[in-house]
Structure 1
């Protein structure tokens, strides 16, 4: 099992993300996830740098493998452009880049004025997009006239020695079936052994499974809970809201239904080592190969990320690895 760090482009700006990548490597994390957003979920989170610029910058200061978590290669970004961006990222990272893809959210994808399709159509688009990306990674000229995408006499000239793996996120049976069938790996945020089993059954046997979750470190428990409640109330919104709400303001309005106690009961907070180990345990017991942890709070919040890396690097990571048998 590997334990990674999740770089949150929604709440940290470019310079902080670069520093976090360096601190993650120094603290002993094994790999990085990085989110791919046009908008943050809420205005309080307040950031949203371009992920491809960030990967290029991180590649120059950090040697950890890095994955997008996740890129939507269907509406805002044409799959041919994603193919080029991912290939360049793989070259810059010396083959340590992994392309994580999913069907996305209206929050980020509606901005070009295209209609936001329903879930079944989005899965169909994703499958076609992944095929286009892999064909372009062959280095051959590609002409594609598909149901959703057109690619006309396109060829990528800057390519890594080996194409990066494509990991597919899946929430619900249909998405997990697609992930097992077309993905080189599976990505999730749920500690579900059943989801892993469904992925394996759909064609994912022997493939990598990854999962991510959030914590909030602080020397003060109340400050940690307050910071998480300020910045990530949307994490407790149910159902498909995260896929269909179109703007940070809508997420703020929906998040008025989320209470501070709901956040407190759903996260690891403060500097209690046992509490952080308990948060990790369900994901490890579910059987994921890689588990990514993100520090909530934002740079100016009470929970500063440097303290998180000191806490995890010096105390928590060794205990997590002991618990995981490493």
Structure 2
């Protein structure tokens, strides 16, 4: 299983994120994924720079580490024709190291364009159409499209990479797997669910990449790690059916008011010991994931974590 690092735009500014990406490459991570947010989950996280601008700078600051959006929502804040152009440009800038990761989005980030927040079945319809648009533009030449949710009028990508940009799609259950497996090259999920992995490969007919994500809070002081994980990541336990619907940081603060530090520490490895992290990594491997991106909680604690990953965690995995 390839190990990756998460550039979490919600907890660090753009200059720091580029530096962290270079550090992740030097530490030995195989790939780096970037969130794409307009808001942080909680005010305590404190950041939300533009992910695509950051990734362009990261492509220039690195040379070997693969790059990916985890994930971009191409249904409201971005038109899919624009996402296709951004992804093709990133593939060129990175020397064919880029994967476009997409999902159906969260109200937190998409409400800013003032179009309202559709129910999940409509969002899935929109994402399916968006993927048709993106693939049509990746095919080259002029492209027209008239769907229930999107129109494209004589669009063309004038700068296409020699290697087609792979597309990974976020799924959460049988319905989304059956809809999106034919439209994606790889699967994205955030729980070590073996049923999702087997269903994805079965729907595609061939095995493909299955990319997970695991939050950790490494620190030499476990109590400090638990405190920080609770402060900045207590939203994580709500589950995506809830997280996708809440509109702002105030809502997430209210929804997690009764989550305790002990609750967070039960699901997120905290402290200096690598063993709890290794145990959760093993769960993803056993479930069938081919790639796993770690999230180190705390924007000011990335350098120490990267040193720990280089000297202790990654060698333990190999």
Q: Same fold (TM over 0.5)?
A: yes
Q: Unaligned regions of 5+ residues in structure 1, if any?
A: 322-326
SS of 2:244's equivalent? helix
Hey, what does 2:88 align to over in structure 1?
87
Cα shift at 1:239: 5.7
SS of 1:66's equivalent? strand
CA contact (8 A) 2:13 2:47 kept: yes
Query: Residues of 1 paired with 2:55 and 2:127: CA distance?
Result: 22
User: Structure 1, residues 15-63: CA drift from partner, whole Å, max 9, x if none?
Assistant: 1111110111111110011101111111111111111101100001112
Query: Residues of 2 paired with 1:145 and 1:282: CA distance?
Result: 43
Query: Residues of 1 paired with 2:207 and 2:8: CA distance?
Result: 29
Hey, what does 2:117 align to over in structure 1?
116
Cα shift at 1:150: 1.0
TM-score, L = length of structure 1: 0.95
Matches within 5 A, 1:121-200: 121-200=122-201
SS of 2:299's equivalent? coil
Matches within 5 A, 1:220-239: 220-238=221-239
Query: Residues of 1 paired with 2:52 and 2:17: CA distance?
Result: 13
Cα shift at 1:205: 2.4
User: Structure 1, residues 195-250: CA drift from partner, whole Å, max 9, x if none?
Assistant: 10111222252211110111011110000111111111101114611111011110
User: Structure 1, residues 85-137: CA drift from partner, whole Å, max 9, x if none?
Assistant: 11111110011100001101111111111121111111111111111111112
User: Structure 1, residues 248-282: CA drift from partner, whole Å, max 9, x if none?
Assistant: 11011101121111111111111112122122111
CA contact (8 A) 1:267 1:279 kept: no
SS of 2:280's equivalent? helix
Query: Residues of 2 paired with 1:241 and 1:287: CA distance?
Result: 26
* Greater than 6 Å deviation, 4+ residue runs: none
Q: 2:314 matched to 1:313?
A: no
Q: Which piece of structure 1 moves more, 239-248 or 40-49? A: 239-248
Matches within 5 A, 1:29-68: 29-63=29-63, 64-68=65-69
CA contact (8 A) 1:237 1:258 kept: no
Q: Which piece of structure 1 moves more, 151-160 or 78-87? A: 151-160
Query: Residues of 2 paired with 1:241 and 1:20: CA distance?
Result: 30
**CA pair 156-176 structure 1, distance change in 2 beyond 3 A:** same
TM-score, L = length of structure 2: 0.97
Query: Residues of 1 paired with 2:206 and 2:47: CA distance?
Result: 37
Query: Residues of 2 paired with 1:262 and 1:316: CA distance?
Result: 25
Hey, what does 1:219 align to over in structure 2?
220
Query: Residues of 2 paired with 1:161 and 1:253: CA distance?
Result: 48
Query: Residues of 2 paired with 1:24 and 1:229: CA distance?
Result: 24
Query: Residues of 2 paired with 1:201 and 1:27: CA distance?
Result: 35
**What number of residue pairs does the alignment pair up?**
317
CA contact (8 A) 1:216 1:270 kept: yes
Query: Residues of 1 paired with 2:53 and 2:153: CA distance?
Result: 26
SS of 1:244's equivalent? coil
**CA pair 238-146 structure 1, distance change in 2 beyond 3 A:** closer
Matches within 5 A, 1:167-316: 167-203=168-204, 205-238=206-239, 240-299=241-300, 304-316=301-313
Cα shift at 1:157: 0.6
**CA pair 204-85 structure 1, distance change in 2 beyond 3 A:** farther
Q: Which piece of structure 1 moves more, 201-210 or 261-270? A: 201-210
Hey, what does 2:23 align to over in structure 1?
23
